[in-house]
Amino acid sequence: MVEHGKTIGAVIMVDGARAIAELDPAAAASGSDLAVGDLVKMPGKLNTVYGLVHGIKAVAGAGNGERHQQVDIDFLGEVFGGPDAPFQRGVSRYPSIGAPLIAADRADALHVYARPSAPHVRIGKVHQGADLDAFLLTDDLLSKHFAVLGTTGSGKSCTVTLILRSLLHEYPDAHVLLLDPHNEYADAFGDIAKLVSLESLTLPYWLMNSEELVETIVRTEGDDREDQIGILRNAVLRARREFTRNAELSSFITVDTPSPFSLTDLIKIIDAESGKLERAESVQAYMRLIERLERLRADRRFAFMFSTKMAFDNLDEILGFLLRIPVEGKPMTVVDLSGIPSEIIDVVVSILSRMIFDFALWNPRSDDVPLLLVCEEAHRYIPRDDEPAFMPTKNALARIAKEGRKHGVSLCLVSQRPSDLSQRILSQCGTIFGLRMSNDTDQEFVQRALPESARSLMRALPALRTQEAIVIGDGTTVPARIMFDDLPPEHQPRSKSARYSSAWKADSSSADMIKQTVARWRFQRRRRPQGS
């Protein structure tokens, strides 16, 4: 058993962010239980450097055949002066060759993992001891973005819930918008969030910019696609300008301006333009656009966007509702995307992402209402750079990742397939929560997005337990392996797998259940329709 506070070896190599020490033969012979993840320190004349053990190996001695134990150490930070001096991340003065290697004791651990003086929230315990709390630095976590990455079953959804609930408990006047593709988070945040489903979502068609309008309305590939795009953009610009009663605003309106227009007027404009053509074959592009617009207007699945009742200016109400301004006891909006038609879901995410950034960009008091966008299944919208994607969505999220910090917009990326994410965008995240990952490609991808000094800690990813994570970056006081706190049952997301072992032991199904399912399916409702 290694004796904490006792010299157990000496430094034999220093290289930037790491060191190698050789264990004293007596310490090795006594059965030292120094293990990967243990905290050690290396005192010098002016400072004491702390580090984490990330590897232990036996090497042959020179000439005599004896084997020695060497310890690989990653630097965490340093303390200048006496034991009461504050711990600081980073190393300004490296340990010298021959500096003693000392097993850190409880006082050292409490010093390194101390409660920070900056604004913070507590999320769990540090791997080094059950009495060591793990903290997140609020401003650095949010202002520099963060990502939660882990394979299915690693506790990813619970981790997101715990982090957000910890933040919202401490800061009840926050402004958070969570995109929920699988309807997992309604139970987790039902007491502190506005829950928005397909039935309650209002996202008028006139909020779309030209790229989103093209994606939604121009559905055909063929010779007249470019013709349709040109016709649509010209008609939308004209419809926007004709609808506004503000002459001054009209001159500023572009095809991308989020100003209302009438669908009926748009169809009339397209139809009138087609009547000016002399050749019948030239009318096809116009007719396809009108047919598509009529279909969208008649399809109740798209009523949240294409209802004829939406041709009025309520942008301020939409923004206030989605961004929780004023908060009124509900600092979060959870948008359930599971019921939205698949052919338009990318457009919906694009609108929401772009709207958040544009609101912050044009708000002269954006510092007063900083916003957090949580993007679940982020790989669907910002796939790796060589994969096709709906570019408006990818561009909107990339813009938040690059410029959000300057305008008070924070981004949280959540993914079970990190290797499918855009590395360019992931690298903008200042804090990474790495949960269990067994896939070599995912592990290598995450490590490439991190600084060299942090990569060795991520090698523990395959061995992590459920609810455990490696946390690295600006949002944590020090890189650490942590165990998250338990979530009470009423705050757990709906991410549990079906229990086949119990469900298949009893015949609990019925014909009535099938009828209810079919009714919900046909009505496109998550809730049971009345009278069914």
Range of the domain at 453: 134-202+314-497
DSSP element (H, E) containing 18 = strand 18-23
Going by C-beta distance under 8 Å and a sequence separation of 6 or more, which residues neighbour residue 498? none
Judge whether 174 lies within some domain.
yes
pLDDT < 50: residue spans in the chain: 1, 31, 528-532
Domain stops at, among 305, 324, 356:
305
Q: How many angstroms separate the CA atoms of 292 and 217, rounded? A: 6
The domain boundary residue, chosen from 259, 280, 305: 305
Q: What is the pLDDT of residue 70?
A: 92
- Confirm whether 430 is domain-assigned: yes
CATH number at residue 194: 3.40.50.300
- Note whether 49 and 175 are same-domain residues: no
**Are 318 and 284 contained in the same domain?**
no
CA–CA distance, 235 with 241 (Å, rounded to integer) = 10
51 three-state secondary structure: strand
Residues 512 and 470 in one domain: no
- At 294 the pLDDT is 95
Lookup: tokens for 196: 């928005």
Both 370 and 389 in a single domain?
yes
| 3-class secondary-structure state, position 71 | strand
The answer to the question of residue 118 being in a domain is no
Which value, in Å, is the radius of gyration of the alpha carbons in the chain? 29
Residue 117 covered by a domain: no
Q: How many domains does the chain have?
A: 4
Copy the structure tokens of residue 142. Answer: 């949010």
Query: Are 195 and 271 in the same domain?
Result: no
The pLDDT, as a whole number, for residue 177 is 98
b/e 295-313 (16+ beta carbons within 10 angstroms → b): ebbeeeebbbbbeeebbee
Same domain, 341 and 464: yes
Q: What is the DSSP annotation of 446-462? A: HHHTS-HHHHTGGGGGG
Distances from the Cα of 529 to the Cα of 512, 515, 521, 524, angstroms: 14, 11, 10, 9
What token pair was written down for 515? 């009828």
Strand pairing class (87-89; 146-149): unpaired
Does residue 97 sit in helix, strand or coil?
A: coil
Same domain, residue pair 57 and 11: yes
Quick check: is 126 in a domain? no
Q: In this predicted structure, what is the pLDDT of residue 32? A: 59
Asked if residue 120 is part of any domain, the answer here is no
In terms of domains, do 148 and 253 share one? no
Say if residue 153 is in the same domain as residue 212. no
Residue 363 lies in a domain: yes
Predicted confidence (pLDDT) per residue in 232-283, tens digit: 999 999 999 999 887 788 889 999 999 999 999 999 999 999 888 766 667 8
CB of 267 within 8 A of CB of 293? yes
Contact yes or no for 435/468 (Cβ under 8 A): yes
User: Do residue 72 and residue 16 come from a single domain?
Assistant: yes
Count of residues for the chain? 532
Per-residue model confidence (pLDDT) at position 366: 77
**End-of-domain residue from the set 305, 340, 370:** 305
Residue 502, number of CB atoms within 10 A of its CB: 9
Outline where DSSP puts E strands in 234-369: 332-336
CA 262 to chain centre: 36
Q: What does the alpha-carbon distance between residue 101 and residue 69 come to, in Å, rounded to a whole number? A: 13
Do residues 325 and 463 both lie within one domain? yes
Q: Tell me what pLDDT residue 528 has.
A: 39
Residues 167, 82, single domain; the answer is no
pTM: 0.89
User: Do the domain assignments include residue 367?
Assistant: yes
